[in-house]
Amino acid sequence: MATTDFDFAAWPPQLTPEQLQILVGKATSRALATGLLYLPPGYPLDSPPPQAAIHAPLSLLPAPFPRESFELAQEIQSVYNTLYAQIAMDTPFLDEVMGAEKGVGKVDEFIGELWRGWKKLRDSGRISQPLHLGLFRSDYLYHMPENGLQTLKQVEFNTISVSFGCLSQRIAELHRHLLLSTSYFGSSPHLKPENLPQNDTIAGLASGLGAAHAAYVSTGGSSTSKILFVVQPGERNVFDQKWLEYELLEKHNIHAVRQTFEELITSSSVDPQTSLLTVSPKNSPEQDTEVSVVYYRSGYMPNEYPSPEYYETRFRLESSKAIKCPTIPLQLAGGKKVQEVLGRKGLVERFLPDLPQSQIDDLRKTFMDMWGLDEDSQTAVGEVGSSPPASAAPNGDAASEPLGTLKARKEYASLVLKPQREGGGNNVYKGDIPAFLDGLPPQEREAWIAMRLIEVPKGVKGWLVRAGSLDFATTSPSERAVQAEIVSELGIFGWALFGDGQVVAEEEVGWLVRTKGKDSNEGGVATGFSVLDSVLLV
């Protein structure tokens, strides 16, 4: 991977207060006019249809990212799509790595509950739909160590409720609009149209959902069946989802229905003979709506299953003829433990035996050093070195902890610990690691992996704009933009439709950039840590 001579520390270009005020005004107006929106904080859960909105948190200028690394991420997305499809279809592998008898599910109750429900359905012959749909996002940072190769490194691969595909297109369009309308006041020679790539994620993601709907109809499903969006109550990021609904209706003539797990407890049913899934939409004259695709924009956190009824509802949907996005095995395939295990010798080749070695090499170059806290062999804990770490547990007994945990204790300053969770706000970083390990019960180590921190470009800054509330009477546009040292994470979207050992179709369909302040460890936009951004190719 070639390095870039772009001076990240010199970004962003200088802007006068007057120029900054013009850009903020144009950016926020464009965001409001084009649906780059959130519901306001504290919007009542039992409110009528939305009557107010704020613009989503956004970056005023696109984030610099090396062109070669961006293009590599796009090129290998199809390989990642196929890889995770194959993992989801390898039941023995998932049973061993993520299951509640041998794998992570033994110590992670949430993972174990999902796996046990899936196994029960398998054992009783109640898996009636062989096809899976995955809408994926592979997240990356640009690794720029002081001494070493500058290259693209994967943060994680997401298989459930991948968000901001639609709003990522809107923010890319916003930055192109600012360039067209102001030329960014000639502040940088890098700010020109050919360095702002097109982003058509809305059409791309909808094409994946549309392909699954078409596959359902082709096997006897009703042409009037609908796609079910399983959503969180009080979802502030509703507009990111709405753009997909509009695209499905206007370009594919596919209707959607939205329901929460709580609503589905009583509104959903599966016919015992045909496995047909129907729902009764809330506040609708339609009593029974046939569902072609179950699209989860929720269901990835334990707190979304507050009682057994919620798990039972998930398993009911899983047993149906509708195509699930994702199925339970595909959700399990997105676990951090799977990502860690893939780094071991021969695992990628196991799932992709026909892939040319050059493509396997490109894929492996994006892997970061990872290991399980429970691992107790040199080969399992990645780049351990020539000898085990000499440090011991607090009680002084080095034999009381496996190599994986001892290595994490020794090298904590360059690590992040990750559980099997999505959605942001779950990781443990650097200086917080020793105390966390002190309190981690030994039986729970298997649920955690250690990952070497990616060394991002230093000194790069950005202008971050958040709405925050609807009261701006005392705030000028320029005061709403805050300059901070930033970290920008690239996500590449893709989808795959697969089943019975075969990948029916797959595609790379767009990208997103999330930018956060350097001092913020987490990266979720919806959780308040990041702003939406786009890419400036350098």
What pLDDT tens digit does each residue of the chain (538 aa) get? 456 789 999 999 999 999 999 999 999 999 999 999 999 888 776 677 788 899 999 999 999 999 999 999 999 999 999 999 999 999 999 999 999 999 999 999 999 999 999 999 999 999 999 999 999 999 999 999 988 889 999 999 999 999 999 999 999 999 999 999 999 999 999 999 999 999 999 999 999 999 999 999 999 999 999 999 999 998 999 999 999 999 999 999 999 999 999 999 999 999 999 999 999 977 776 779 999 999 999 999 999 999 999 999 999 999 999 999 999 999 999 999 999 999 999 999 999 999 999 999 999 999 999 999 988 865 554 432 323 333 344 443 445 789 999 999 999 999 999 998 876 668 999 999 999 999 999 988 988 999 999 999 999 999 999 875 444 444 555 567 899 999 999 999 999 999 999 999 999 999 999 999 887 655 455 444 689 999 999 9
Q: Is 526 annotated as a binding residue?
A: yes
Q: What's residue 1's pLDDT? A: 47
Q: What's residue 379's pLDDT? A: 56
Question: Rounded distance, CA 52 to CA 32, Å?
Answer: 11
Q: Is 207 annotated as a binding residue?
A: no
Which residue in 247, 401, 422, 507 is the catalytic one? 422
Q: Is 297 annotated as a binding residue?
A: yes
Q: Is 23 annotated as a binding residue?
A: no
Question: Rounded distance, CA 364 to CA 342, Å?
Answer: 9
Q: Is 237 annotated as a binding residue?
A: yes
Q: Is 81 annotated as a binding residue?
A: no
Q: Cβ atoms within 10 A of the Cβ of 285, count?
A: 5
SS3 per residue for 111-137: HHHHHHHHHHHHHCCCCCCCCEEEEEE
User: Backbone phi, then psi, for 238, in 5-degree steps?
Assistant: -65, -30
Pairing of strands 481-499, 502-517: antiparallel
**Catalytic: 401?**
no
**Catalytic: 158?**
yes
Report, in angstroms and rounded to the nearest whole number, the Rg of the chain calculated over CA atoms: 23
Which residue in 30, 119, 137, 258 is the catalytic one? 137
Helix 109-123 and helix 308-318: axis angle, to 10°? 40
Q: What's residue 382's pLDDT? A: 46
Q: Is 183 annotated as a binding residue?
A: no
Q: What's residue 174's pLDDT? A: 98
Q: Is 451 annotated as a binding residue?
A: yes
CB-based contact 506:81 (threshold 8 Å): yes
Question: Rounded distance, CA 503 to CA 520, Å?
Answer: 38
Supply 216's token pair.
Answer: 């359902």
Going by C-alpha positions, the residue among 160, 117, 123, 150 that lies closest to residue 1 is 150
**Catalytic: 422?**
yes
Alpha helices in 193-303 (DSSP H): 201-218, 238-252, 261-267
Which residue in 163, 268, 488, 530 is the catalytic one? 163
What letter represents residue 253's amino acid?
Answer: N
Q: What's residue 476's pLDDT? A: 55
**Catalytic: 156?**
yes
Question: Rounded distance, CA 110 to CA 134, Å?
Answer: 21
Q: Is 420 annotated as a binding residue?
A: yes
Q: Is 454 annotated as a binding residue?
A: yes
Q: Is 301 annotated as a binding residue?
A: no
Q: Is 411 annotated as a binding residue?
A: no
Which residue in 106, 113, 119, 156 is the catalytic one? 156
Rounded to the nearest 5 degrees, what angle is found at the Cα of 366, between the Cα atoms of 65 and 329?
A: 115
CB-based contact 360:99 (threshold 8 Å): no
**Catalytic: 336?**
yes
Q: Which residue ranges make up each domain of the chain?
A: 8-341+456-537, 369-452
Which residue in 514, 523, 524, 530 is the catalytic one? 514
Which residue in 335, 372, 423, 462 is the catalytic one? 423
Question: Rounded distance, CA 305 to CA 280, Å?
Answer: 21
Q: Is 226 annotated as a binding residue?
A: no
**Catalytic: 96?**
no
**Catalytic: 418?**
yes
Q: What's residue 282's pLDDT? A: 74
Q: Is 378 annotated as a binding residue?
A: no
Q: Is 220 annotated as a binding residue?
A: no
Q: What's residue 424's pLDDT? A: 64
CB-based contact 376:407 (threshold 8 Å): no
Which residue in 336, 407, 409, 480 is the catalytic one? 336
Q: Does domain 369-452 have CATH number 3.40.50.300?
A: no
Q: Is 68 annotated as a binding residue?
A: no
